Amino acid sequence: MNTKPVKLEKRPVSFRHKTYLEPPTTVGNLPFRRICVSYDCDVTCSEMAMCSRLLACEAPEWSLMKRWRERSALVFSLAGKSPEQFSKTIELLINRERGIAVDFFDINCGCPTDDIFSMGCGSTLMGRTSKLQDIVRADHKPIATKLIPKLYNSGASLVTLHGRSRHQRYTKEADWNYIAQCGKEKREREAALRRELEEKLIRAEGNPVDDEYYPDLDPNVPRRAPTEFFGNGDVMHYQTHLHVLDNLPVDGMMIGQGALFKPWIFTEIKERRVWDISSRERFDTMQDFARFGVENWGSDNRGLAQTRRFLLEWCAFLHRYVPVGVLDRYPESSEPMLALINARPKAFVGRDELETLMASPFVGDWMKLTERIPLIGKAPDGFTFIPKHKANACKDTSSSLDQGGDDQAEG
């Protein structure tokens, strides 16, 4: 057995203007990532995995560390509390003998849940700057305003800022003004450091720094591509994506809940168009998810139940999509921030029966949709489901037909 430590090497990488799927909890599984890749997502991220559980070889945690033959780059999202945890976990994951192919690692320092926070992981790291710097170095790979430059110094290839606080969660809109402020300070600092470095090289009669690679931060850091900066929060349609790239000092955007509502947002961004996707096309996407789920979890009763359960979890987001064709008007490119992620549309009748059923906020109707998929068929007797997200608002499993469709429930 080879016990020699794996040499971990950082590669120059550019995320600039790439479409990036953030790691959605529960729904960000392999079948969902395959759906997003089918809609031309450039970079996908796994669900967050705990370093401690991976090191303890817990099977449920290792099941998150899977990839398909993605055309896109794959990032593993890890949560831990110490440089040692991250270093050992990353070395374990990239060990060639395990056969796991991963392109990059995401250090999660934004998860706001109480159990993760109390373990010293997730958003806890935002207040532990020195430890987070050590983690960035060890992976061999207003707080954000102070923290982000230190992460650049530590050698991070990409920093993503979600414009919300831990306590705020999703009660308010993402603060893109704060993201822009951090991005502006980052670019001003890079420009100042570049000028300083060029002056030193000129005085030393050296060559000017080339345009592509330069040590934009600590002079002790080897020459590499400059750290890139992504914003995250409330990206619901391609106009927002274009507006942010054209007007704010960011290199790209990570997309999470927008992709859960409409994974074809990546196609809209690539093709710069509004896609009035039909109910049949949306249902075909659900059938693709079921097929991917059976391939991932198996075709036995347990695998079919797992596929149905995760498909229902996804329906808790999918039902909130309002088809373009039923809107009075669609936001123009000059008003890119109108699609608020917390908006709850009034009940509406779709252009066909399937579209109306897909808009239902009731679990019973979601169950009917899954039972229309031949691959997984009718739910077995005794099968029950309560969504993990907003579970208290979705306990009633009756359908909109049973209750008249007037009451709205959050998914």
Identify the pLDDT of residue 306. Answer: 94
Q: How confident is the model at residue 329 (pLDDT cuts 50, 70, 90)?
A: low
The closest of 86, 109, 87 to 6, measured between CA atoms, is 87
> For tokens 């995995």, what's the residue?
49
pLDDT of residue 292: 95
The number of angstroms, rounded, from the C-alpha of 107 to the middle of its chain's C-alpha atoms is 13
pLDDT (mean) for 102-130: 84
- Residue located via tokens 């054209």: 246
Indicate which residues carry an active-site annotation: 111
Average pLDDT over residues 91-112: 72
Q: Give the mean pLDDT of 187-215.
A: 66
Element (H, E) at 74: strand 73-79
Lowest mean pLDDT segment, chosen from 14-23, 317-326, 351-360, 402-411: 402-411
Rounded Cα gap, residues 136 and 143, in angstroms? 17
The position carrying tokens 């591509």 is 225
DSSP letter string over 185-243?
A: HHHHHHHHHHHHHHHHHHHTT-PPPPSS----S-TTSPS-PPPEEEEES---SHHHHHH
Helix-then-strand count for the chain, H and E: 16, 8
pLDDT class for 399, splitting at 50, 70, 90?
low
- Whose tokens are 């000129």? That residue is 202
pLDDT tens-digit series, residues 135-145: 776 644 345 66
What's the CA gap between 264 and 285, in Å, rounded?
10
Relative orientation angle of helices 363-371 and 279-297, to the nearest 10 degrees: 80
Q: pLDDT, tens digit, for every residue of 278-291?
A: 999 999 999 999 99
* Identity of the residue numbered 206: G
> Which CB contacts under 8 angstroms, 24+ apart, belong to 306-309?
307/31, 307/376, 308/370, 308/376, 308/379, 308/383, 308/385, 309/385
Q: What is the pLDDT of residue 394?
A: 39
Q: Which two tokens stand for residue 167?
A: 């306590």
- Domains observed in the chain: 20-269 (3.20.20.70), 276-376 (no CATH)
Percent of the chain exceeding pLDDT 90 equals: 24
As a whole number of angstroms, the longest Cα–Cα distance in the chain is: 81
Neighbours of 147 (CB within 10 A): 20
Q: Could you tell me which of 287, 280, 263, 260 has the C-alpha nearest to residue 39? A: 263
Q: pLDDT at position 404, please?
A: 40
